[in-house]
Amino acid sequence: MSIKDAMSCFTTGVTVVTTRFNGQDWGMTCNSFNTVSLEPALVLWSVRKESQSREAFVQSGGYLVNVLEKSQKNLALQYAQGTQAERFAGQTLVRSAQDYVRLPQSLAWFECKLSQVVSAGDHDILIGEVVDFGLQPGQGLAYAQRSFGSLAALV
């Protein structure tokens, strides 16, 4: 039993965050996403300092958060491993105003301008100001205790 086991008892949604840096798309699965403020609209997520994509997310000046729908478990797995090219392969890629990849079946998305980077232990917290967003009907993909599910039972 570890602290990670205890932390994994907290049920979260699942997102894929994307950015564009050095002429290339970058993306990774993330469940540390959360909302922070309404006025101004601020959200956050945390990236492991040793992550290959950390520099791209910190240097690019912004990111797009795709909130995954329950049918997108395959994308949650795809964006958590492999090369960046493999992560973006085999999908219809829609682009946001800032040229970040938007995954079309996502439940919601937030395009953000990076506003603050807070160093916190082995992660950096990336606080972003929401500049555009959208949503469509559906149910979110949930994650707890290293398993995916849905919150369909919520009324």
Ligand X SMILES: Cc1cc2nc3c(=O)[nH]c(=O)nc-3n(C[C@H](O)[C@H](O)[C@H](O)COP(=O)(O)O)c2cc1C
Q: Give the interface with ligand X as residue ranges (CB under 6 A).
A: 14, 28-32, 45-48, 51-53, 76, 80-81, 143
In the bound state with ligand X, the residue whose beta carbon lies nearer, of 4 and 39, is 4
In the bound state with ligand X, the residue whose beta carbon lies nearer, of 23 and 137, is 23
Report the C-alpha gap between 44 and 125 in whole angstroms: 7
Report the C-alpha gap between 2 and 61 in whole angstroms: 35
Q: Which positions ≥6 away from 38 have C-beta within 8 Å? A: none
Query: Please, what is the minimum distance in Å from the beta carbon of residue 40 to ligand X?
Result: 23
CA angle at 76 for the pair 71 and 78, rounded to the nearest 5°: 115
Query: Please, what is the minimum distance in Å from the beta carbon of residue 149 to ligand X?
Result: 12
Residue carrying the six token digits 């478990």? 73
Query: Please, what is the minimum distance in Å from the beta carbon of residue 1 to ligand X?
Result: 20
In the bound state with ligand X, the residue whose beta carbon lies nearer, of 15 and 96, is 15
Q: Which residues pair with 132 in a beta bridge?
A: 111
In the bound state with ligand X, the residue whose beta carbon lies nearer, of 29 and 72, is 29
